[in-house]
Structure 1
């Protein structure tokens, strides 16, 4: 298999040349590059082999005729009604955001239960999590009466100022 540096050099050579498409195959490893205006695509495939492939000599660059593009794969999109309901529901939810940059913790210590879980009722002064910043553990309060719908941050995750941590359905 080609080394990353060799692939980078190939990309530079193809980029500087008038070649639109390039293919290279050796011992089950395939490299295919296409230029299309300013967009460049690189596809590297390697067959599963039990033995390591020997180092390949530098390939000769040859122009290949342009190939027909494959039709795009269509994804099934959710129905408009479901999408509208989700948008309306998210508009009615209150976001509890991080007041600082730090590390998010769901519980006061690793061996205890989280302060809140989805479905838990909270009041304005309920503690919902801790954000640690500079060795200080800051308890974050709900700021609203309601029900926790979703926990948006993971335990131990770094969070940014203003990043949503919880979604709360107000009462």
Structure 2
């Protein structure tokens, strides 16, 4: 972790004064708890890092630390949406979608934007969606621990190959007619 909080270290064990229970899932606030890890300043920049990352502390002068992030919600799902898209509501493109939209991809055979997760976080798919951008810019979610790392790659068992081919041919025909009207 990179966010040293000396005031939290000092206030450990004390009740947080002024907490408003209406803003969370609780009726009273708990006690402050300091980090259980040792902290030290490293590099010429003097960045604080904990003992959790002993090797990273050697590279702090080559890293950027962003301490200005905040959320308009203390609930996880809206906070995750805001972290990824800048908004606390669904329907807006995530940062990865904007980057894919703006920069494109050098490889048309692989997804340009990939999200790897173990268990889906709160908010799940909307936090890495393309929002109002075309769906080609949404993330491809990969669960490396699952039996099927990428969902929905296989044709549904109820759909025969011939039926799928006829659906794809109809879609291609509709797309061609649409494109012909809009050269």
Q: TM-score normalized by structure 1?
A: 0.19
Normalized per residue, which structure has more helix? 2
Normalized per residue, which structure has more strand? 1
Which structure has the bigger radius of gyration?
1
